[in-house]
């Protein structure tokens, strides 16, 4: 990224950081990048670094994000001023100002001139094909026309009109986000191509080039692939990667698809396969109907691949019990990695346990956060087994088999209850629900804020509506497969919370829980109304104990976000 773009971002959002930026990256400060040969200790060459931020600089991520703001702002502005094409038929459009058009009636001879403004709803009915716009460029712009409907579709008072193509714009508010150098957008299909072209055109302004096709692609659920082909003509340069694309792995399939793109850089690469890892977890929509089990199997396979990568790292512990359990599961692949892996000394049990708990066991947390428990638990179970083997090894045993099944499970409880390994198998359902709750609360908060400012993206509004209607859809059995997995996790949590043994454990635990806090407050003479909030059990007016509402409600999931006790 260009450092002048970073400087502009700092000046806009955090001007007090300019002295720090000038000290680290000013004109007189130039770092170097050194090149080494395979296994060499002396550099073969070097080059000066006049752009970007230094790896390891604590200010680096912040400075990069501030510089990226200029690009994100420019992309948003571009998407609010799009020329229309045939892929946008059916969308609401606007005119750039009072525009002279022609009323379309029964025949070509009955054309009356009229003035079109944005006072009434305008919906695009016909527009030039993408191929025509690409092929002729600016030629013939004066003669191009689009057909629009003035007024709500279906209203007898609405009518058709033809207006100049140059006067029509699609104003799109997009749901755009960035995490360091990863830029993502949730878009309607007709916005995919203009968004991709905007990134490629505007990126060089800040020193970023989105020309690596295999890394700049769009994921579309497979059930919409045919609709996308019909929406975008061949002239758009659309290439779709699906499960039948050669390659065997998602990355190789994308690389194959990228080689099919046209050379002018204006093609669109779409994958219906999925994303192998996004924010630490695989992404693939569970499409109802035929192929649903294949979708689930794909997610499980990607999760198991991540578990296998983490399992290899246990070789660095140098524990025989761990090696035995890993070889039993992964065989020669683990042995090959272990052969060249550095190992901890055998008398460092404390360090071995700390690394296993804090570094290795937590590496799959993202799976339990972003996938239903039914999808993530197989992978998490693999790491649970190696964690139990670590406990056995640190206790002086050479084999996990020495520990009974009950002892193995008990050996992990301290980690889970201490919050150290929330990604383990048993609490996966709770981790998934709590993460979904936090995400949904964030979505609602952002949607409310943008709605007040008049900038709420249509796709964000639809997501909020879907979440708000989840309880109704549950009663009507209209849930998506992913929502069904979320409901199963919620039901599991509520069943556990209502278990008498669990209630008694929470009541007697010195670490608290709603029941213990209510009891203590009651003993202290606290206000009964304030104490007895009805989270689990309530006392009725006649002294009876009645069942309380469920701990987590599928219709009010966001209320569970940030609630530590829940």
For residue range 486-539, what is the model confidence (pLDDT) as tens digits? 999 999 988 888 888 877 777 776 555 555 555 555 555 554 333 333 334 444
- C-alpha–C-alpha distance, residues 368 and 430, integer Å: 9
Phi, psi (rounded to 5 degrees) for 178: -145, 140
| 400-418 residues labelled b (16+ CB within 10 A) or e (exposed) | beebeeeebeebbeebbee
Among residues of the chain, what percentage have pLDDT more than 90? Answer: 56
Better-predicted residue by pLDDT, 525 or 185 = 185
What are the domain boundaries of the chain? 3-79, 86-169, 179-283, 292-426, 444-560
Range 309-317 average pLDDT: 95
pLDDT in the model for residue 109: 54
pLDDT in the model for residue 529: 38
- What integer best gives the mean pLDDT of the chain? 85
Does residue 13 have a pLDDT over 60?
Answer: yes
In order of 69, 304, 386, 422, 427, the CA distances from 431 in angstroms are 32, 18, 20, 7, 6
Better-predicted residue by pLDDT, 535 or 89 = 89
pLDDT in the model for residue 132: 77
Model confidence at 139, pLDDT cuts 50, 70, 90, reads low
For residue range 199-220, what is the model confidence (pLDDT) as tens digits? 999 999 999 988 887 788 999 9
For residue range 417-452, what is the model confidence (pLDDT) as tens digits? 455 554 577 788 888 998 999 999 999 999 999 999
For residue range 351-396, what is the model confidence (pLDDT) as tens digits? 999 899 888 988 898 999 999 999 999 999 999 999 999 999 999 9
pLDDT in the model for residue 121: 95
Range 251-279 average pLDDT: 89
| CB-neighbour burial class of residue 109 (10 A; exposed 0-12, middle 13-18, buried 19+) | exposed
Does residue 550 have a pLDDT over 70?
Answer: yes
- C-alpha–C-alpha distance, residues 441 and 438, integer Å: 5
- C-alpha–C-alpha distance, residues 92 and 440, integer Å: 28
pLDDT in the model for residue 536: 42
Of the ranges 34-38, 250-254, 259-263, 348-352, which one carries the lowest mean pLDDT score? 34-38
Among residues of the chain, what percentage have pLDDT more than 70? Answer: 87
pLDDT in the model for residue 497: 82
pLDDT in the model for residue 523: 53
- C-alpha–C-alpha distance, residues 118 and 162, integer Å: 15
Write down the pTM of the prediction: 0.84
Model confidence at 178, pLDDT cuts 50, 70, 90, reads confident
Does residue 228 have a pLDDT over 80?
Answer: yes
Range 144-158 average pLDDT: 91
pLDDT in the model for residue 544: 47
Q: Which residues pair with 170 in a beta bridge?
A: 82
| 400 in Cβ contact with 389 (< 8 Å) | yes
* Relative orientation angle of helices 292-313 and 481-498, to the nearest 10 degrees: 60
- C-alpha–C-alpha distance, residues 41 and 45, integer Å: 12
Tokens representing residue 426 in the block: 């048993």
In order of 49, 305, 355, 376, 436, the CA distances from 361 in angstroms are 37, 15, 8, 14, 22
Within 10 Å of residue 500's Cβ, how many Cβ atoms?
A: 7
pLDDT in the model for residue 181: 76
| DSSP secondary structure of 307-359 | HHHHHHHGGGG--HHHHHHHHHHHTHHHHHHHHT-----TT-HHHHHHIIIII
């Amino acid at each position: 990224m260009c450092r002048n773009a970073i400087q502009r971002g700092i000046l806009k959002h955090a001007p007090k950081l300019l002295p720090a930026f000038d000290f680290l990256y000013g004109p007189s400060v130039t770092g170097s990048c050194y090149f080494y040969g395979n296994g060499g200790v002396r550099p073969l060459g070097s080059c000066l670094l006049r752009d970007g931020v230094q790896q390891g600089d604590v200010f680096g991520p912040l400075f990069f994000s501030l510089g990226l703001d200029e690009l994100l702002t420019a992309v948003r502005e571009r998407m609010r001023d799009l020329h229309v094409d045939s892929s946008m038929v059916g969308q609401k459009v606007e005119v750039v100002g009072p525009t002279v058009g022609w009323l379309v009636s029964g025949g070509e001879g009955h054309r009356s001139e009229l003035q079109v403004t944005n006072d009434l709803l305008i919906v695009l009915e016909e527009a030039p094909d993408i191929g025509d716009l690409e092929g002729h460029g600016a030629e013939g712009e004066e003669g191009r026309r689009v057909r629009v409907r003035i007024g709500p579709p279906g209203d007898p008072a609405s009518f058709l009109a033809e207006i100049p193509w140059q006067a029509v714009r699609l104003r799109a508010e997009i749901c755009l986000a960035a995490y360091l150098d990863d830029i993502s957008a949730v878009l309607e299909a007709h916005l995919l191509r203009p968004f991709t072209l905007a990134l490629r055109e505007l990126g060089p302004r800040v020193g970023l080039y989105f020309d690596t096709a295999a890394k700049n692609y769009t994921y579309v659920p497979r059930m919409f692939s045919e609709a996308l082909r019909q929406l975008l003509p061949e002239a758009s340069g659309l290439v779709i990667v699906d499960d039948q694309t050669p390659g065997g792995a998602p990355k190789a399939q994308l690389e194959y698809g990228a080689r099919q793109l046209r050379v002018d850089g204006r093609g669109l690469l779409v994958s219906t396969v999925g994303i192998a890892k996004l924010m630490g977890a695989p992404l693939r929509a569970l499409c109802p109907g035929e192929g649903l089990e294949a979708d689930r199997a794909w997610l499980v396979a990607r999760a198991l691949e991540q578990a296998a990568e983490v399992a290899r790292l246990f070789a660095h512990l140098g524990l025989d019990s761990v090696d035995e359990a890993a070889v039993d599961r992964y065989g020669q692949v683990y042995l090959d990695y272990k052969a060249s892996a550095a190992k901890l000394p055998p008398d460092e049990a404390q360090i071995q346990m700390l690394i296993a708990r804090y570094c290795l066991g937590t590496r799959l947390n993202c799976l339990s956060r972003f996938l239903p428990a039914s999808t993530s638990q197989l992978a998490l179970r693999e790491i649970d087994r190696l964690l139990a083997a670590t406990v056995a090894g640190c206790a002086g045993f050479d084999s996990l088999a020495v520990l009974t099944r009950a002892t193995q499970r008990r050996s992990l409880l301290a980690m889970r209850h201490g919050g150290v390994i929330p990604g383990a198998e048993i609490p996966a359902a709770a981790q998934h629900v709590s993460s979904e709750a936090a995400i949904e609360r964030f979505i609602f908060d952002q949607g409310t804020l943008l709605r007040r400012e008049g900038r709420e993206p249509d796709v964000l509004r639809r997501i909020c509506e879907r979440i708000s209607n989840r309880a109704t859809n549950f009663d009507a059995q209209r849930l998506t497969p992913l929502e069904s997995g979320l409901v199963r996790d919620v039901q599991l949590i509520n069943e556990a919370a209502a278990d008498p043994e669990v209630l008694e454990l929470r009541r007697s635990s010195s670490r608290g829980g709603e029941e213990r806090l209510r009891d203590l407050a009651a003993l202290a003479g606290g206000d009964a109304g304030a104490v007895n909030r009805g989270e689990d059990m309530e006392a009725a007016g006649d002294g009876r104990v009645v069942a309380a509402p469920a701990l987590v409600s599928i219709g009010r999931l966001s209320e569970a976000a940030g609630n530590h006790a829940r």
